[in-house]
Structure 1
Amino acid sequence: MRKERIERASLYSEVTKRIIAELEEGRLPWVQPWDSAACGCTMPQNAGTARPYSGINILILWAEGIARGYASQRWLTYRQTEAAGGNVRRGEKGTVICYADRFTPKAEAEAARGEDREARQVAFLKRFVVFNVDQCEGLPEDYIAPMVGPDPVLAIGAADALIAASGARFNIGGGEAFYSPSHDFVAVPPQAAFHEPVNWYRTALHELGHNAVTQIMPHRGEKARLAA
């Protein structure tokens, strides 16, 4: 029981630190011109069963997906990856999540029946490791195919050329738009998720501006980004 409490406290502490780190990087709410519901797999879910993760696991997987720049929030255990015919790429590190529940020990159930009372349940916390589908290879197409079409609805040549010329690492996918200074990449949702396609370019260039400030004035980039 004491070990379980220590493990739970440790896991909660890890998640809290990661959330604080996200806030310190300036990922603050602003007017959102896209529909998160149209961004494939915004909520973390198991790629094999399509079952959504819950509780603290949502925060853990959200934070990991943002930090690593994964294109989706689909995850698998090592065994599920193998069962699907794929494999985890060599050198990839998994993400630890947890399963919390309660059970009634057999001895307690028997004792409760003999004493005509309700059996006491015992809480448990089990950790296990999952991998994002981006960390795997050889998976079936339906495990990794985007839920929103990748083809742009609108193409603005000059803006596309500017994005390409910036040299920034540019990830398209998920339901959030941000620039991560610590990992040096820009992320924006798919263009098809935006109510007005032109707002995809406005959002992309807004985040690209944070990247430019950090590259040109690394010491002032933090203040400028937080003030935006």
Structure 2
Amino acid sequence: MPRKALPRTQRADIYEEITNKIISQLEDGRLPWVQPWARNGNSSVAMPLNASTGRTYSGINILLLWGAAIERGFAGQSWLTFRQALSLGGNVRKGERGTTVVYADKFVPQSEKDRALQSGDEPSAIPFLKRFTVFNADQCEGLPEHIAPQAPPVPEGLIDPTVHAIISATGIDFRIGGDRAFYVPRHDYVQVPPPQAYFDTIDWHRTALHELGHATGHPSRLDRDLSGSFGCRKYAFEELIAEMTAAFTCAALGIEPTVRHADYIGSWLEVLREDKRAIVRAASQASKAADWILAFRPALEADAAGDQLEAQAIAA
């Protein structure tokens, strides 16, 4: 059965969508053809490829997939369709958003075939793009080991043992990899780059505890409003909470990152200037979040901290 060509307006829309996406990346200062590698200490991946067929993508799809991986912090450049993930024994995680890629083809309309038949000329084909959706291996689960994304191992000694123990004890899905730090409320997981990606590895702890602070707001934990989108007041307020949570938790654990928390909070001055009570409310929420995290400290350390506070109280 011959493939039906897309209407001219729909064909034009795909070109326009792709162009607008590239323009948006350029306006954000991101060049989608400059960073084709994973910036997570494992730079072996360069070209995006289909993990099922082993074929590399070409043309505009390279830019689209590089851009998606950079924007969303994927650890690698292996991609699959929904059905390909199933055929390999895995699946795309529920709620994951795919990336649109395109397939270039040509179509000869019947009118052109009729004209060519009458004139004896070769029929002219009309080029068109067909869109389909792929998912990064990071967005899948249950894939074979050779396809599943593998984060580079963290060298011993880079993560404070107490922080490592706390993260594990919380039960929060905490992933190390990629080149961005973020928390995804919808899927309830944290992702941060590996410690070796930081100029000062001590700063990894502030970042990890910042994102863990966001995770405390999940409905199953402290149930804060995490619905704010980037740039809005709700988002800024939640960032204040997470940053102070990291500051309070680092202080309680005796960790001194080189990043100054006050400098980071300064970028949210607009919120503070609009609402004189905002910093008080944010600090209160941050204290609750820090207490929630610190409750998972190993028992021996928590007992030692309690003994120290008791000794200080007696001495006073």
TM-score under structure 1 length normalisation: 0.64
CA distance in 1, matches of 2:78, 2:58: 13
* Runs of at least 5 residues in structure 1 that lack an aligned partner in the other structure: 192-199, 222-228
Which is bigger in relative contact order (C-alpha 8 A, separation at least 6)? Answer: 1
1:21 aligns with 2:5: no
* Counterpart among 264, 270, 294 of residue 218 in structure 1: 264
Alignment pair present for 1:92 and 2:85: no
Q: Quote the residue 1:48 is aligned against.
A: 52
**2:9 corresponds to 1:2:** yes
Q: 2:61 and 2:120 mapped to 1: Cα distance? A: 38
Q: Relative to 1, partners in 2 of residues 1:11 and 1:160: Cα closer, same or farther, differing over 3 Å?
A: same
Which 4+ runs in 1 deviate beyond 4 A?
Answer: 178-186, 200-208, 210-215
Work out the CA distance in 2 between the residues paired with 1:104 and 1:186.
50
TM-fit CA distance, 1:19: 3.8
Q: In terms of mean alpha carbon deviation, does 97-106 or 134-143 score higher?
A: 97-106
Identity %: 33
Structure 2 alignment gaps of length 5 or more: 1-7, 168-173, 185-189, 208-256, 268-316
Higher strand share: 1
1:77 match: 81
The 1:119/1:160 distance shift into structure 2, 3 A limit, reads: same
Q: 1:125 aligns with which of 129, 140, 157?
A: 129
Which of 112, 121, 124 is matched with 2:116 structurally?
Answer: 112
Distance 1:179 1:136, change over 3 A: closer
Cα shift at 1:219: 6.5
Q: Is contact 2:91–2:140 with CA below 8 Å preserved after alignment?
A: yes
Contact 2:73 2:180 in 1 (8 A): no
State the Cα RMSD in Å.
4.3
Task: After TM superposition, give the deviation of residue 7 of structure 1 in Å.
Answer: 2.6
Q: How does 1:131-210 map to 2 (within 5 A)?
A: 131-144=135-148, 146=150, 150-151=152-153, 155=156, 157=157, 159-161=158-160, 171-173=176-178, 187=193, 200=196, 203=199, 205=201
1:139-158 deviations in Å (ceiling 9; x for gaps): 12222154xx8346x65x3x
Deviation at 1:13, TM superposition (A): 0.4
Letter matched to residue 150 of structure 1:
P
TM-score by length of 2: 0.48
- Larger CA Rg, structure 1 vs 2: 2
- 8 A Cα contact 1:43 1:73, kept in partner: yes
CA distance in 2, matches of 1:66, 1:119: 42
| CA 1:207–1:57: 2 relative to 1, 3 Å | farther
Alignment partners' CA distance in 1, 2:197 and 2:18: 38
Give the paired residue count. 195
Structure 1 pair 170–215 and aligned structure 2 pair: CA distance change class (3 A): farther
Match of 2:97, SS state, is: coil
Assess, with a 3 A threshold, how the Cα gap between structure 1 residues 22 and 46 changes in structure 2: closer, same or farther: farther
Give the C-alpha shift of residue 49 in structure 1: 0.8
SS in 2 for 1:13: helix
Q: Which amino acid aligns with 1:120?
A: S
Task: Give secondary structure in 1 for the equivalent of 2:30.
Answer: helix
